[in-house]
Structure 1
Amino acid sequence: MSDFKYEIVAHIGVLSTSEKGWTKELNVIKWNDNEPKYDIREWNPDHTKMGKGITMNEEEIGQLRLFIIN
């Protein structure tokens, strides 16, 4: 597995919490010094481990909002 860097730029909110204490969160994350993107994934309590997730740019998150509103 290759090394990568991440920085949580903005914590938007917790969507759910598992029995083991992991939280599914919506954050804005900067991956490998690239532009920040919206990100939904599970994190352990101290944010040192993560599960698989999905990242979206500004346009994609806007489209998702349209789907939810309609």
Structure 2
Amino acid sequence: MRPKQSKGFILLEALVAMSLILGAWLASVNVYQTISLRFLAQEAKQVNLRKVLDVYETQERFRVYRGQ
């Protein structure tokens, strides 16, 4: 038979294991959130650059056509 103290030790092991799993899960969620926020910021920059490029191309097209 095991002494009574071993039940407390098993409970402590279970709590440590659960906290390690929870910590790893929270770290994974944090990494995912960081990556998705960076992706959204990059996508917003790309949209802005496309708008600027479209304006520039339109201005150049009108400038060339007026010169002819």
TM-score, normalising length from structure 2?
Answer: 0.22
Bigger helix share: 2
Bigger strand share: 1
**Bigger relative contact order (CA 8 A; separation at least 6):** 1
